[in-house]
Amino acid sequence: MFGDVSGPFTTISITCPDVATKAEQPDWELTGLRFARRRDRLPMGEFQLGLLITDGGKSEYIMTARRLNLVGEGDALLAAGN
């Protein structure tokens, strides 16, 4: 999200067998995600990261505490939320 504008970007699922093992939920193996986008195709500014989760016909949009501050040309700072 930047300013008053939000924009969805697609990610791909990646396997995280450690999460499935730790949670004792074998069907949670695809809990990871990967996002790839050329830096010059993203606007500068501060973004708050959110997730759109779809499960069996139900969807839920959740904002995280993570922020991404894109500054200058090609520099990015990821701030971890508490």
- Expressed as residue numbers, the domain containing 78 is 43-82
Count up the domains in the chain and report the number. Answer: 2
In a domain, 70, yes or no: yes
Whether residues 19 and 34 share a domain: the answer is yes
In a domain, 2, yes or no: no
Q: Write the DSSP assignment of 21-69 as a string of letters.
A: HHHT-GGGTT-EEE----GGGS-SEEEEEEEEEEETTEEEEEEEEEEEE
Instruction: Answer yes or no: do 19 and 49 share one domain.
Output: no
Q: Specify if 19 maps to a domain.
A: yes
pTM above 0.95, yes or no: no
Task: For the chain, state the CA radius of gyration.
Answer: 15
From the list 49, 78, 79, the residue with the least C-alpha distance to 61 is: 49
Does position 78 have pLDDT exceeding 70, yes or no?
no
pLDDT at 48 over 90: no
Q: Do the domain assignments include residue 67? A: yes
Same domain, 61 and 81: yes
